[in-house]
Amino acid sequence: MARIEKIKIQNFKSYKKYSLNLEKNFKHIVVYGKNGVGKTNLLDSFTFFSNTKGLRGSSLGEVFPVKEEKKLNTKVEILLSLKNDNYNLNYEIINEEGKLKKKLSLDNKNVSIQEIKSFNNFIWLSPYMDKIMYEGQTLKRNFIDKMISQNNKHFSKLIITFKKNSSERLQILKTSKDEKWLDIIENKLAENIYEVCNIRRIYAEEINQLIDSKLKKFRGVYIEFVNDLYLKNNDRNTIINLFAKKLKEQRQLDEVSKRTNFSINSDQTLFFDKTNKFNTDRCSTGEQKSCLLTIILANCWKLKNENKEFILLLDEATSHIDAENFKKLFDEVDKFDTQIWYTGTNKNLFQVIDNKGFYIHLQ
C-alpha cells in the first residue's frame, strides 16, 4: 500500500515549521480544523511531487510563508512507503540570484517529477477544480491530459516533442520560410497531433467503460473528444495528411499570430452528464462536482488495474456531498489499496470513517 509515514515541512505557505510521524498503518487520514489553519496547504505540499504548480496552481513565488522574506528556502520532506520499499523524497524551493528554483531529490540524489511519477502519483480533488466542469476548453483538456500522463509516459514525451517541433516551425516561418523544411516539420507535427488525439480517445473510451462497469452508484458521465479533421472512419495516414494540409494552409496566419493555431489544442473536450442528458456546463454546482468525482475515481480504477501506485487527496471532501453520498465515496475509495487523505472543518463530518481513520487536528 502506498502511504506517507513521515512529513517535515519548512517555510511552505502557512507552515513555518511542521513535522508529523504516522506510526500506525492507517489508510484513511483525516485533517480537520477551522478555516485558515492550513488543511489544504498540508495536502498542497505533497502535490508538488507530482505537479509543477501543486494543488492550487501556485507559482514558486507563492509557496513562501505570507509576509516572509523571499530569501527563505522552502523544504518539504516525506518518507513514502510502497510495498516493501521506502523512498525519502524532498524538494527545495530556493532563491538563486533572484531566480526561484525547485530541486527534487530521492534518497539525496537529484530526480525529476516524471521519475517520481514512475513509481507513485498524487491524485487530488479540491474545490479549486470545480470550474473544470463549466469553464473553457483549456481547463478541461489539461485536466484530462494530466490524468493521461499519470498512466502513459509516452504521452508526456509526445507533448514535449510537439512543442519543440512547433517552436522550430514558427522559427522557420519567421526567418527562411524554406518550403522543403516546412513540409518536413509539418509532417512531424501532423504525426504528433495525431498520436496525441489518438491516445486521448483511447483513454476516454477506457474511462467511460470503467465508469459504466465500476461506478454505477455514482453520477454517470461520458467523456468525448471532437475534432472536425479526426474522423473515426479515416485511417491513420489519411488523418495525418489532413493535419499536414491544415498546417500548410495556416502558415501565413501562424506567422502573423506567432502561434500554431491548429495543434493538439484543437481537440474539443466534452463532458456529458448522462442523467440530465446534456453537457456538464449546464449542470448545477453539485452535479458538476459529482461528475468530476466520477471521472477521478475512474482514473483511480485505471491506475489500480494497471498496478500503479498512487495516494488520493480529497480536499474539502464533504463539500457538495451529503452524508449518504459521502458514505458511497468512502466505500469506493476503501477498495483502493492506498492511503487516502481528507480535509474538513469538523471531525463529525467523518463519522462514516469511524475507527478506521487517523485524525489530525490543526489549530
* Prediction pTM value: 0.93
Distance CA 159, CA 235 (A): 22
Alpha helices in the chain (DSSP H): 39-47, 113-117, 137-151, 153-174, 179-214, 236-249, 251-257, 285-305, 323-333
Distance CA 85, CA 243 (A): 46
Distance CA 166, CA 259 (A): 8
Helix, strand, coil distribution of the chain in percent, nearest 5: 45, 25, 30
Q: Over 90: is that where the pLDDT of 330 sits?
A: yes
How many Å from the N-terminal Cα to the C-terminal Cα in the chain?
A: 29
Q: Residue 321's pLDDT is what?
A: 75
Q: Residue 72's pLDDT is what?
A: 74
Q: Over 70: is that where the pLDDT of 69 sits?
A: no
Q: Over 80: is that where the pLDDT of 317 sits?
A: no
- Cα separation values, 279 from 201, 208, 223, 287, 297, Å: 18, 15, 10, 11, 19
Q: Over 80: is that where the pLDDT of 47 sits?
A: yes
Which CATH class, in words, describes the domain spanning 3-120+309-361? alpha beta
Domain boundaries, the chain: 3-120+309-361, 137-269
* Residues 82 and 2 sit within 8 Å (Cβ to Cβ): yes
**Which candidate, 148, 45, 137, places its Cα nearest to that of 89?**
45
**Which candidate, 322, 357, 325, 361, places its Cα nearest to that of 340?**
357
**What integer best gives the mean pLDDT of the chain?**
93
Distance CA 280, CA 240 (A): 31
- Give residue-wise pLDDT tens across range 145-154: 999 998 888 9
Please work out, in degrees rounded to the nearest 5, the angle formed at the alpha carbon of residue 143 by the alpha carbons of 139 and 147.
170
More confident site: 324 or 250: 250
More confident site: 319 or 101: 101
Burial 252-263 (b: 16+ CB within 10 A, else e): eebeeeeebebb
SS3 296: helix
Distance CA 153, CA 118 (A): 8
**Which candidate, 29, 32, 28, places its Cα nearest to that of 344?**
32
Q: Residue 68's pLDDT is what?
A: 65
* Average pLDDT score over residue span 123-138: 91
Q: Residue 243's pLDDT is what?
A: 98
* Residues 14 and 38 sit within 8 Å (Cβ to Cβ): yes
* Average pLDDT score over residue span 110-125: 93
More confident site: 185 or 133: 185
The angle that helices 137-151 and 285-305 make with each other, rounded to 10 degrees, is 20
Q: Residue 151's pLDDT is what?
A: 81
